[in-house]
Amino acid sequence: MRIHHYEKLWLIIGSLILIIFLSILAVQTFVLDMGPPSHAETIDPQSVRESELFANTGLQEVGDKEYEIAMIAEMFAFRPGDLEVPVGSTVHFTLASPDVTHGFKITDTNINVMVVPGHISKISHTFDESGEYLILCNEYCGLGHEYMANTITVK
Ligand SMILES: [Cu+2]
């Protein structure tokens, strides 16, 4: 079988790229011991609503302009609802879902996490600019998906 030399060149380049990428992945996995942070903290989806962690759903001041909040993402709302924090506040979000996979996205920030049933998602953000930020679910979760939207007001 004759292979045109351009085709041969592309096969070699393609194979080399694949080998390089797989090598990087292998080094990250086995040498640097890197992996997705899943399984870090788990929770039984059936007990999310009754759990102590999510019982006190509200902003808790834990320091100077530092807040913690445990939120439940469920069909089809985020609990608690709209939030309000002063400018410059750092908010530590802890999230869980009692039903299906939801998304937790806050517009104009880097916050964008999946809330997977059985897992606890944690993310923090410092709100340096005032305004009204939209919190929304960006994982299609059912017929009421579009109603999953709250706001966090920073002023
Ligand atoms: Cu949702």
Residue ranges per structural domain of the chain = 1-35, 45-154
Query: What is the Å distance from ligand 1's center to 136 Cα?
Result: 8
pLDDT at 39: 58
Query: What is the Å distance from ligand 1's center to 31 Cα?
Result: 37
Rounded to 10 degrees, the C-alpha dihedral 73/134/131/95 comes to: 20
The predicted-structure confidence for 96-142, as pLDDT tens digits, reads as follows 999 999 999 999 999 999 999 998 999 999 999 999 999 999 999 99
The pLDDT of 53-82, averaged and rounded, is: 89
Query: What is the Å distance from ligand 1's center to 135 Cα?
Result: 11
Query: What is the Å distance from ligand 1's center to 2 Cα?
Result: 55
pLDDT beyond 60 at 38:
no
pLDDT at 88: 94
Listing DSSP states for 26-79 in one string gives HIIIIIS-----TTSSB--GGGTTTSHHHHS-S-EEEETTEEEEEEEEETTEEE
Instruction: Give the architecture-level CATH label for domain 45-154.
Output: Sandwich (2.60)
Query: What is the Å distance from ligand 1's center to 97 Cα?
Result: 9
Query: What is the Å distance from ligand 1's center to 115 Cα?
Result: 9
pLDDT at 73: 92
- pLDDT grade for 40, boundaries at 50, 70 and 90: confident
Query: What is the Å distance from ligand 1's center to 24 Cα?
Result: 35
